[in-house]
């Protein structure tokens, strides 16, 4: 009798050997001892054509452009190993989005990161939150007292968004106490000003900024 193979959609191979924080079942990333502050960062959608590999690959773009990385991670290993490292996928977490979907997106962020680590790729955890309700799980699985990455691109357009981002940033700095924070996008004083003594921030222009700077040059 032919054995039935069940695919639960969560690609269990990603987390073989991982520890989990339950509930809700978020994988724990391994030690980040082999990571460093990136010389530069590059979007995943440009990685195949990149000539300069001294950078960390990031996923700060619409989810549809990297969804295949979540479901077919193995086939991207050879590409990602060419770079200095990877910032874990920035799966969307939106205010008003049901908690179960936000937890799934947190799961895949950590699961892909863990799998890349197992395969020798240096990984910087991307930390993403929505509103206060997400603080219960959005920091789980990230080692404290290490390096993390965040993005402000598209997240701080209004006064209300800036205030919510500021609250999340404070919570992240308090819970994870990172010694270095990679920031993709702008760093307005109204959001970051009070936290300059908490850690060392390293700002990298978003692809939008870089493209428009070139166009306006």
pTM assigned to the model = 0.92
Closest CA to 84 of 28, 124, 137, 126: 124
Domain boundaries, the chain: 13-216
pLDDT in tens, 31-60: 999 999 999 999 999 999 999 999 999 999
CA 46 to chain centre: 17
Sorted by sequence, the CB contacts under 8 Å of residue 103 that are 6+ apart come out as: 24, 26, 137
The band of 8, judged by pLDDT with boundaries at 50, 70 and 90, is low
C-alpha–C-alpha distance, residues 1 and 205, integer Å: 57
pLDDT 10s digits, 141-191: 999 999 999 999 989 999 999 999 999 999 999 999 999 999 999 999 999
- Under the banding of pLDDT at 50, 70 and 90, the label for residue 10 is low
Q: Indicate if the pLDDT at residue 216 is higher than 90.
A: no
162 within 8 A of 188, measured Cβ to Cβ: yes
- pLDDT, tens digit, 9 for 90 and up, residues 92-118: 999 999 999 999 999 999 999 999 999
What are the DSSP calls for 132-191, one per residue? GGGGGTTTTTPPSSSEEEEE-TTT-SSHHHHHHHHHHHHHHHHHH--SEEEEES---HHH
Q: Please, which residues bridge with residue 56 across strands?
A: 41, 85
pLDDT, average across residues 16-23: 95
How much is the average pLDDT of 77-98?
96
Contact 122, 80 (CB under 8 A): no
User: Are β-strands 20-21 and 26-27 bridged in parallel, bridged antiparallel, or unpaired?
Assistant: antiparallel
**CA gap 57, 184 in Å, rounded:** 12
């Amino acid at each position: 009798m032919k054995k039935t193979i069940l695919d639960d959609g969560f690609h269990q191979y990603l987390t073989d050997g991982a520890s989990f924080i339950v509930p809700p079942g978020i994988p724990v990333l391994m030690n980040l001892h082999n990571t460093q502050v990136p010389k530069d960062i590059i979007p995943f959608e440009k990685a195949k054509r990149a000539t300069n590999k001294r950078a960390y690959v990031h996923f700060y773009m619409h989810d549809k452009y990297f969804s295949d990385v979540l479901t077919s991670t193995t086939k991207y290993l050879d590409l990602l190993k060419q770079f200095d490292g990877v910032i874990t996928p920035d799966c969307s977490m939106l205010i008003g989005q049901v908690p179960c979907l936000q937890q799934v997106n947190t799961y895949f962020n950590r699961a892909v990161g863990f799998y890349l680590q197992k395969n020798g790729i240096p990984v910087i955890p991307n930390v993403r939150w929505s509103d206060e309700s997400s603080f219960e799980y959005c920091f789980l699985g990230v080692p404290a007292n290490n390096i993390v990455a965040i993005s402000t691109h598209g997240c701080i357009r209004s006064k209300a968004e800036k205030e919510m981002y500021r609250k999340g940033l404070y919570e992240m700095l308090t819970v994870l106490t990172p010694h270095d924070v990679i920031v993709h996008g702008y760093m307005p004083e109204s959001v970051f000003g009070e936290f300059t003594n908490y850690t060392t921030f390293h700002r990298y222009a978003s692809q939008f900024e870089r493209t428009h700077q070139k166009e306006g040059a």
